[in-house]
Chain A
Amino acid sequence: MNKTAMYDLEQIKALTESAVHGCRLELVPNGSAANQPSLWVDNDHALAVARFLRDDPALCFDYASNVTGVDWPDVTVNETVMVKKVIAGVEQEFDVPRAIVKPGFLEAVYHLYSMRCKHGPLILRLRTENRTGQTHVPSLTPIYRGAEFQEREIYDLFGIVFDGHPDLRRLLMWEEFQDHPMRKDYRAPDDYEYEPTPHGEILEKARRHYSPEVKHG
């Protein structure tokens, strides 16, 4: 597997930050054996960063291989907090459990390669503010034409709205469809039918579907 032959990710980050004024890039590490860390780009400068990466003669990332949407749901982290309370005149410290909700977001991941210089991949990430209302992200279709259909698919299945896309409408589902099916909290319509040996989640679905007729006993 080709590593980014001449530069590594730190160097690319430094070059981009010096070329595109005001952009904020953050390195997102990758824990697996693949050793493919990525760069999180802020939404305001994403278009300029992509243009620089494509047009720079040394970096020359002219080929957007893959555009993926990812749904990161809200993560509830349970932690304990030390709280001081006065009980019977004596100040004592208690460990109180508290659930902190880290807000989720939607993400678009771009895998960039270079056809001319034959190196890659460079992975860019664009994130939305949250999963509910602010799901706008700039479209990189003006820079990489190949992202056109893939961004439409992400809009269809995840609900990320790409600003600046020439033709943003649903790709795979029909126009009247309302939901965004690839989200983690999507519930498929209940057109379930007889399942001979249900267990686990399927048993729950079957119970919900057939509850008047199921005899428990």
Chain B
Amino acid sequence: MNDELRTELSRQGLVITSLEALYNWGRSNSVWPLGFGLACCAIEMIAASMARFDLARFGSEVFRPSPRQADLMIVAGTVTKKMAPQVVRLYNQMPEPKYVIAMGACAISGGPFKQGYNVLKGIDRLIPVDIYIPGCPPRPEALIHALMTLQKKMAAEKLTGPQRARHCQTATPSEYPAPQFGAHDLEPAFNPKVWQPTKVERHE
């Protein structure tokens, strides 16, 4: 529809939209995060929800304690191998449509603790991540920017057609297997369907 016609009609009190736009608008402006902070980035997440930075004006007022009621999981902090099965289980318990923000260097790739025997080198080895926020810790403004990016991403999702969103396709899984504790490492160390190690071509 013509934009001028749309504006003219809205001035008359008549709003024309599509079901997809309306649905995505409602979803993206009421993203409820799971109250799930692991380490230092969690404090910046709490600070982002406090009075100065105020995440509530973006719709994320309520941090749900239970994953069954949340649609965003902000993995804030280092994911250790001992914690990794729990993170995957929490992700599995969230109902679709669900999103993951990897906040901070540790959640993206292990961060400063990368040489750790107990550190999972990035949560995207086990579950799919939508937004990555670099920083150690990222400022609360960075978290707000990430939330706004996620809102844009959600608003642009299509519900029908071959390009439709992940949660509307029956082929993509919504639950991922949680790793087991092995004798020396997690088994499996990463989920091959979610993450593949980078192919290295090094010329020396």
Contact = CB atoms under 8 A, between A and B. Distances in A.
A and B touch in the complex (CB under 8 A): yes
Interface of A: 172-179, 181, 186, 188-189, 191, 193-194, 206, 210, 213-217
A216 B82 CA distance: 37
Contact of A177 (B116, B121, B181, B197): B181
Interface string B69-104: 000000000000110000000000000000000000
Given A176-B183, A178-B184, A189 B200 contact: no
A6 B95 CA distance: 67
Contact of A194 (B81, B182, B184, B198): B198
A210 B200 contact: yes
B125 to A, nearest CB: 8
Contacts of A193: 109, 121, 197-198
Contact of B181 (A174, A181, A188, A189): A174
Given A188-B117, A193-B197, A193-B198, A176 B182 contact: yes
Contacts of A210: 200, 202
B189 A191 contact: yes
A30 B196 CA distance: 50
Task: Please tell me the size bucket of the interface on B.
Answer: 20 to 34
Given A173-B82, A191-B189, A179 B184 contact: yes
Query: Interface on chain B toward A: helix, strand, loop, or mixed SS?
Result: loop
A181 B109 CA distance: 21
Given A177-B183, A177-B184, A178-B184, A191 B199 contact: no
B86 to A, nearest CB: 11
A186 B118 CA distance: 13
Given A173-B82, A173-B118, A174-B82, A189 B201 contact: no
The interface centre, meaning the residue of B189, B197, B200 with most chain A CB atoms within 10 A of its CB, is B200
B182 to A, nearest CB: 7
29 contacts: A172-B118, A173-B118, A175-B181, A176-B181, A176-B183, A177-B181, A179-B183, A181-B117, A181-B118, A186-B117, A188-B115, A188-B117, A189-B184, A191-B121, A191-B190, A193-B109, A193-B197, A193-B198, A206-B202, A213-B199, A213-B200, A213-B201, A214-B202, A214-B204, A215-B201, A215-B203, A216-B203, A217-B203, A217-B204
B185 interface: yes
Given A210-B200, A216-B204, A217-B203, A189 B183 contact: no
A194 B109 CA distance: 11
Contacts of A216: 203-204
Contacts of B204: 214, 216-217
B146 to A, nearest CB: 23
A194 B197 contact: yes
Contacts of B190: 191
B183 A178 contact: yes
Nearest to B187: A176
Interface in B147-201: 181-185, 189-190, 197-201
A206 B200 contact: yes
A-B residue pairs, 10 tightest by C-beta: A189-B185, A194-B198, A178-B183, A188-B117, A174-B181, A176-B181, A210-B200, A191-B189, A214-B202, A181-B117
